[in-house]
Amino acid sequence: MRHFFSVNQLDEVEIMEILRMAEQLQQKQCAIEQQRFAANLFFEPSTRTKMSFLVAERKLGMEVLDFHQETSSTQKGESLYDTAKTFQAIGANLLVIRHPADDWFHELKDQLSIPIINAGAGKEEHPTQCMLDLLTIYQEFQQFNGINVVISGDILHSRVAKSNAQTLKRLGANVYLSTVDGCKDETLDFPYITMDEAVEICDVLMLLRIQHERHQEVAIDQSSYLRKFGLTKERERNMNPSAILLHPAPINRGVEIDSDLVECERSRIFKQMNNGVYIRMAIITKLLRAWGISYEANTQKRE
């Protein structure tokens, strides 16, 4: 694997290899032998993905190059391609890119001689989020086969929904979708169910926020959303005792989920964020190895 643009690049063996690698990295101190530079090029807002890549890169011993879109030469019209080539020219060994275009990586593919990781592509792909979600589910159930996963929220505009639905299905999970009018993606071949049905059958309930910034026409009434479609305390009481709750965040408390449930016993939301660091370390490690960039993880166990 030379770049990481999509979870579809990974077969089941590679997915499990990365999950195991992430778990080992959770237990180890790591270091890259020589000075290596990573550049995180975010053209959309981010808290978790950007900061967990930063932590992952620093834990691996990489230097992180500072980039802020608003003060970069993209403001003078420089393209993504020329920005990426510039970072390669000044010595970056790895690019992590988030961009609002669904297919931004197609123009960069085969054009650079350093690995690129997709940290979010429009409404289509968020592969590292998918991988950290898989790790969180796997650590809970030790398998994917036969697990009922319901993805609920703005399916049409969510790159998290698309990356997760297809991959979980491939791994043997039963995937269902739940949403409101205007947020269905008719191209996805999964059954749609109501939120009342979802809580009854799910082992994993993955909640998503409404992505107002990607809506052009549909106006969702936030004040009634929780009562009609969200996870209320009443609905949460109908979930199986062993069922868990995921959310990629950011969370709109009181809209898709009652604020008191964000940190309830079955919530793994902050566990997902912690897992994100180690999944990203594992993916960076795998790519650096594929490009022959020296990397060494010592075997010292964390205290």
Q: Which of 46, 72, 148, 232 binds ligand CP (CB under 6 A)?
A: 46
On whether 247 is known to bind a ligand per the annotation, the reply is no
Nearer to ligand CP, 110 or 213 (CB): 213
Q: Measured from the CB of residue 250, what is the shortest distance to ligand CP in angstroms? A: 6
- How many Å apart are CA 107 and CA 105, to the nearest integer? 5
**Structure tokens given for 140:** 């809970």
On whether 48 is known to bind a ligand per the annotation, the reply is yes
Q: Is 153 in the site for ligand CP (CB under 6 A)?
A: no
On whether 212 is known to bind a ligand per the annotation, the reply is no
Q: Is 22 in the site for ligand CP (CB under 6 A)?
A: no
Beta strands in 180-224 (DSSP E): 204-207
Nearer to ligand CP, 92 or 132 (CB): 132
On whether 249 is known to bind a ligand per the annotation, the reply is yes
Q: Measured from the CB of residue 64, what is the shortest distance to ligand CP in angstroms? A: 16
Q: Which of residues 234-253 bind ligand CP (CB under 6 A)?
A: 248-250
Angle of helix 127-141 relative to helix 159-170, nearest 10 degrees, comes to 50
User: Which CA distances in Å does 247 have to 132, 203, 263?
Assistant: 11, 14, 11
Nearer to ligand CP, 251 or 264 (CB): 251
On whether 49 is known to bind a ligand per the annotation, the reply is yes
Q: Measured from the CB of residue 242, what is the shortest distance to ligand CP in angstroms? A: 25
Three-state secondary structure readout of 228-296: HHCECHHHHCCCCCCCEEECCCCCCECCCECHHHCCCCCECHHHHHHHHHHHHHHHHHHHHHHCCCCCE
**Structure tokens given for 21:** 């690698």
> Do residues 14 and 289 touch, judged by C-beta distance below 8 A?
no
Nearer to ligand CP, 209 or 235 (CB): 209
Q: Count of residues binding ligand CP (CB under 6 A)?
A: 9
- How many Å apart are CA 184 and CA 178, to the nearest integer? 8
Sign for the CA dihedral angle at 55, 271, 137, 44 comes to negative
* Amino acid residing at 187: T
Give the DSSP letter string of 45-85.
Answer: --SHHHHHHHHHHHHTT-EEE---GGGSGGGGT--HHHHHH
Nearer to ligand CP, 48 or 170 (CB): 48
Nearer to ligand CP, 6 or 49 (CB): 49
Cα angle for residues 8, 121, 254 (degrees, 5° grid): 105
Q: Is 40 in the site for ligand CP (CB under 6 A)?
A: no
* Amino acid residing at 55: V
Q: Which of residues 172-211 bind ligand CP (CB under 6 A)?
A: none
Q: Which of residues 105-134 bind ligand CP (CB under 6 A)?
A: 129
Q: Which of 47, 73, 194, 294 binds ligand CP (CB under 6 A)?
A: 47
Q: Measured from the CB of residue 96, what is the shortest distance to ligand CP in angstroms? A: 11
Q: Candidates 48-56, 105-113, 183-191, 290-298 — which segment interacts with ligand CP by CB under 6 A?
A: 48-56
Q: Measured from the CB of residue 81, what is the shortest distance to ligand CP in angstroms? A: 23
Quick count: other Cβ atoms within 10 Å of Cβ 252?
A: 20
Nearer to ligand CP, 88 or 163 (CB): 163
Binding site for ligand CP (CB under 6 A): 46-50, 129, 248-250
Return binding residues for L-aspartate.
Answer: 76, 159, 209
